[in-house]
Amino acid sequence: MTSGDVREAADALAGRALELPELARARTVAAYVSVGGEPGTTPLLDALRARNVRVLLPVLLSDNDLDWGVYAGPGSLVRVRHGGRMALLEPAGERLGPEAVGRADAVLLPGVAVDARGMRLGRGGGSYDRVLARLERARADPALVVLLYDTEVVERVPEEPHDRPVHAVVTPSGVRRFRESPPGRRQPA
């Protein structure tokens, strides 16, 4: 994809995601800043923030778990290199703790692919598997939405016993639902 194609896809992805009722009623959304070849998330992050949605972004910890901080615009991000891996853009402000994700009304998840059952294939580090397990333990029930390119929605991905299906995948061309999103977020216990 050319840089223009990437920008166009990011804008289309943001437009599709913003049409989701789960994001329209959300007060807090846990999201991420795209890296490498992932679909661009910056237009969506900025649009959510413009709607006065509190956007939480991950901070990668040394054990691959995630802490969270508030997104306050592009100037609030710092580039952090974690070992030999690629650099990530992370929020520069206060750390809210790994449990902060439990207060999100929706969680936007990165992935490599999603299959026809709603199973997500990640990059293999387990960071978001920990997030999903943490949400389950806390009995939090946010809408789980994966952001991908159209070609990354496939027939079947490998799954492990700990994997859980997501509610929906958003691509530049549309939304595909796999299970009903929660009408109202259950509060963590």
pLDDT at 186 (0 to 100):
44
Range of the domain at 163: 3-177
Residue 54 lies in a domain: yes
DSSP helix/strand/coil, 23: helix
* Residue 185, pLDDT above cutoff 60: no
Tell me the average pLDDT of the chain: 90
Tell me if 186 is assigned to some domain: no
109 closest CA partner among 124, 120, 98, 100: 120
Instruction: Summarize pLDDT for 3-46 with one digit per residue, the tens.
Output: 888 889 999 999 999 999 999 999 999 999 998 888 999 999 99
Predicted pLDDT of residue 123: 82
Q: What's the mean pLDDT in 81-91?
A: 83
Tell me how many domains the chain contains: 1
Q: Is the pLDDT of residue 89 over 90?
A: yes
- The answer to whether the CB of 167 falls within 8 A of the CB of 145 is yes
Note the pTM of the prediction, 2 decimals: 0.91
In a domain, 183, yes or no: no
Across the range 54-63, mean pLDDT stands at: 95
Angstrom distance (rounded) from CA 124 to CA 15: 29
Q: How confident is the model at residue 182 (pLDDT cuts 50, 70, 90)?
A: low
In a domain, 49, yes or no: yes
**171 in any annotated domain:** yes
CATH number of the structural domain spanning residue 29: 3.40.50.10420
Is 104 within 8 Å of 137 (Cβ atoms)?
no
Rounded mean pLDDT of 95-120?
Answer: 96
Structure confidence at residue 183 as a pLDDT band (50, 70, 90)? low
Neighbours of 21 (CB within 10 A): 10
Q: Does residue 184 belong to any structural domain of this protein?
A: no
In a domain, 162, yes or no: yes
Query: Does residue 25 fall inside a structural domain?
Result: yes
